[in-house]
Amino acid sequence: MTTMMTMATRTLAKKKSKPSLAVLNPLSIATYLSAGLTPKVTVDNAAESVNANLTLPTPQRPMILGVSGASGMIYAVRSLKHLLSAGYTVDLVASRASHQVWLKEDGVQMPTNPEQQADFWREQAGVQSAGKLRCHAWGNVGASIASGSFRALGMVIMPCSMSTVGKLAAGLSSDLLERAADVQIKEGRSLVVVPRETPLSLIHLRNLTTLAEAGARIVPAIPAWYHRPQSVEDLVDFVVARALDQLAIDCVPLRRWEGK
């Protein structure tokens, strides 16, 4: 009788000191950890099980927005408007040429100082406080987005000039925008290029083909009409939505095709 009681006592002690752990869904854990977060785990001693709170906050990782010197700064403005309004974190880098193009097209002078740039972009997008915006100087190749260890949802270059396309296709990184894009390619991450050029020469087409073969998604700035656009912004938003679709980001109010 004494031996049986001793064995029972030892068994209970083991159960109290080492509660059995429930098997968690590895896919859910991987998804949670990919966002750079740690699951909140609570242990129920009575049931001897583990419950994991795997609810992902919105948004997850930041996304990178590159603005090159192609015509059509409105594409960058509208994309930033929708991303920030949806609460995303955006790391933005505008090339030197983009400053010149914006000044020529709209008479708008973009500041070169990153902090002033953030205020400038928010004013242009009409979003004062939502989301998080970090602007980087084009020459700061030591910025966070220049490293493959910086984790992001991906990168969209919108609008994208043929000069930028050519440099990326050749593997050149002469500024931060090109370096950040090159990082996405070498790391096998999502890079979306929105070229704004017409007509396209054979050289342009070959460079775009090279980028596509390297894994980039090519989304030309070509709007559709089935969503019945009523303004220039509606036309631009269609392109913005299709570009962000490549990163599985759905934050643009858009009447999508539903079939007949």
pLDDT at 39: 46
Assess if residue 228 is contained within a domain: yes
Would you call 73 helix, strand, or coil by DSSP?
Answer: helix
Quote the number of domains for the chain.
2
pLDDT at 44: 40
Whether residues 120 and 9 share a domain: the answer is no
pLDDT at 147: 95
pLDDT at 42: 39
Enumerate residue ranges in the chain where pLDDT < 50.
4-5, 8-9, 11-35, 38-59
Give me the half-sphere count of Cα atoms (radius 13 Å) on the Cβ side of residue 161.
17
pLDDT at 46: 37
With the CA atoms of 18, 19, 25 and 27 taken in that order, what torsion angle do they form, in degrees rounded to the nearest 10?
-30
pLDDT at 50: 35
pLDDT at 170: 97
Range of the domain at 7: 2-53
Whether residues 28 and 86 share a domain: the answer is no
CB 154 within 8 A of CB 63: yes
Assess if residue 206 is contained within a domain: yes
Whether residues 89 and 204 share a domain: the answer is yes
pLDDT at 20: 37
Whether residues 239 and 155 share a domain: the answer is yes
Whether residues 130 and 237 share a domain: the answer is yes
Q: Are strands 40-44 and 49-53 parallel, antiparallel or unpaired?
A: antiparallel
